Amino acid sequence: MDTKQIGRQVLTELMGDGFLERREKTRNAFNDVLHDYTEEVCFGRTWARPGIDRKLRSILNVAMLTALNRPNQLRNHVEGALNNGCTMEELREILLHAAVYCGLPAATDSFRIAEEVLRARKLLD
């Protein structure tokens, strides 16, 4: 498999069957370079590496996206973290830890997004 194929496989494993198909429908003449970059550089080249497991990569993203203030991507990576075996208890600890370092407003925004994901999955009332 080439880097792109590897990336697409990792992305499927991370986000579930059907994700790639739905995502492919949003590809167009403008964003195709970003789709390629995401599949090849992000997932094929980086996520596919050994050395740290995918659960940790998901967790790193939850922490970094909280610090970077990127709620749209955070939502996807909370999904990914849960898919990769991160529990609700771990997620809670990670975001509470982030409150100390990134500040309370950053943690509050991330808790809200994580809650929406958890509720959609019936993991939280």
Q: Which amino acid is at 22?
A: R
Taking CB under 8 A as the rule, which mask of x and - marks residues 57-96 in contact with a second copy? x-xxx-xxxxxxxx-xx--------------xxxxxxxxx
User: Which tokens sit at 97?
Assistant: 């830890």
In the region spanning residues 23 to 62, those forming contacts with a second copy, defined by CB under 8 A, are 28-31, 33-34, 37-38, 41-42, 45-47, 49, 51-52, 56-57, 59-61
Q: How many residues bind a second copy (CB under 8 A)?
A: 60
Q: How far is CA 40 from CA 8, 15, 36, 77, 116, in A?
A: 8, 16, 6, 18, 30
Which residue has 């998901």 as its token pair? 58
Nearer to a second copy, 5 or 108 (CB): 108
